[in-house]
Amino acid sequence: MFELDPVIDADTLVVGDLPLCRVLLMNDSQYPWLILVPRRPQLVELADLDEQDYLQFCAESRAVAIAMMKHCAGHKMNIGALGNG
C-alpha cells in the first residue's frame, strides 16, 4: 500500500491524484511548487518504476509543468527530484 513520507505529508497540502501520482502543494508562500509522488508501495527511486509507470510519470510531470506555466505566467520551469532518506 502507498504511504506518503511523514515529513512531506506535514509540509504539503493534497491537490489531488493523477492516474499515477499524488499531487501535493508545498506550503511555501514565496514560490508555488508542486510535488508529484508516484503512488507505488515501497518506491525509493524513479528508476525503480517499471517502464510503463515511468512513462506515465514523465507524461504527468510534463502536463503539470505546462499547467503551472500557464497558471503562474512563468517563463522558466525548474523540475527536480527530492531525495528524503
Positive or negative torsion for Cα 20, 22, 26, 31: positive
Domain boundaries of the chain, sorted by first residue: 6-72
Architecture of domain 6-72: 2-Layer Sandwich (3.30)
- In a structure prediction context, what are the per-residue pLDDT tens digits for the chain, which is 85 residues long? 888 889 899 999 999 999 999 999 998 888 888 999 999 998 989 999 999 999 999 999 999 999 999 988 878 888 888 775 5
pTM: 0.88
The span from the CA of 62 to the CA of 41, in Å, is 23
The span from the CA of 27 to the CA of 13, in Å, is 7
